[in-house]
Amino acid sequence: MTKPGLQSENRDTAPAPWTEFRPTALLVLADGTMIEGTGIGATGEGRGEICFNTAMTGYQEILTDPSYFGQIITFTFPHIGNVGVNEEDIETVNMARTAATGIVLATDITDPSNYRSTHDLDSWLKTRNIVGIAGIDTRALTALIRDKGMQNAIVAHDPDGFFDRKTLLAAAKTLPSMAGLDLVPAVTGSQRYDWTETSWTWNEGYGEQKAPEFHVVALDYGVKRNILRLLAERGCKVTVLPPDAPAADVLALKPDGVFLANGPGDPAATGLYAVPNIRAILDARIPTFGICLGHQMLALAIGARTMKMAQGHHGANHPVKEHATGKVEIVSMNHGFAVDPKTLPDNAEETHISLFDGSNCGLRLKDRPAFSVQQHPEASPGPQDSHYLFDRFVDMMRAARR
């Protein structure tokens, strides 16, 4: 009897008709590991770097986070699908754009039970062309990623269960490494737009900022909707510009502050065109705040370096300590690269660290009004321990006005 699990065999023939388990999905890792399971979502293939996410809530926000572009997400929490999906909890600004390329689950998708649900997860995955596999040992897969690091993989879904394993393995081995890839253009647009939508409130939905106190220009490397909402919530009119917008275009808008957004890919690759513009903004001494990739962009702009992580940080339960206060925050994380704190120049100081591995999670400049964090303080999904960072940015803009 054939059962789903971790396998390294390379059978090219379809399962015999008398086997009890007939896989309709196959996960093929570049190291030769093959995992059989049940297909979910779209049919076909999803290709990218495989990672694991430990969040217990917010699977829709995770799947639509532009920072996950080019990645296959393994969810360690087993009950995925239990609240269904809706059109309000999508995080990518472009509602039609897909972020994650694949999804891996331990069990079949749970039936939805939530008053806000408008669709079940499986049909939603199909409409967004996300290929998935369920019914596998995600603990074993997570341990493999932990020990061997994130590697390229292909998740294939065929209702008839026919897979050309040799071809899939060869393709997985030839996928480009995330290191060196600039994926920002794949998740951003080329048009400027204004953002006024504020946070969601119970039984009222989203609001609108009609009397802003500040004007913030956001450089879009793959910005999440809830980041923009929290800025608007705090009295900001937000103008979003493309990732390669020249510094002259930013300065012409006379902003009170500049926001450097999150996004996917290798920060060093994106920095080739983003860093010169950020340096000009810093030289103009405009209050600047960066999150995730934006944090890495700020670090590169001041001469620091970034590095590829083995497993990365993906989840909503990560402990981060702020040096100044000693406060420990539980935060949401999603990044596969990190700032090397040893390369920070003298005019910068580390403000936050991960209590999981001691990696850098924040910095501030001593001679300019600028700071950034690696975590996702907008908490979509995740705890709201770091919401104060948006208040800190507003206070910085208010002080600059005075």
Please name the residues in contact with 346: beta carbons below 8 A apart, sequence gap of 6 or more: none
C-alpha closest to that of 43 among 157, 129, 160, 153: 157
Asked if 244 and 192 touch (Cβ cutoff 8 Å), the reply is no
Q: Would you call 125 helix, strand, or coil by DSSP?
A: helix
DSSP conformational letter for 21: -
Cα–Cα distance measured from residue 111 to residue 393, given in angstroms and rounded to the nearest whole number? 41
C-alpha closest to that of 311 among 147, 141, 129, 160: 147
> Phi and psi at residue 165, in whole multiples of 5°?
-65, -40
The CA distances from residue 195 to 11, 49, 286, 368, 387, in Å, are: 52, 32, 20, 26, 19
β-strands 44-53, 71-75: how paired?
Answer: parallel
Cα–Cα distance measured from residue 357 to residue 56, given in angstroms and rounded to the nearest whole number? 21
Whether the ω angle into residue 381 lies within 30 degrees of 0, i.e. cis, is: yes
Cα–Cα distance measured from residue 110 to residue 315, given in angstroms and rounded to the nearest whole number? 20
Active site residue ranges: 292, 376, 378
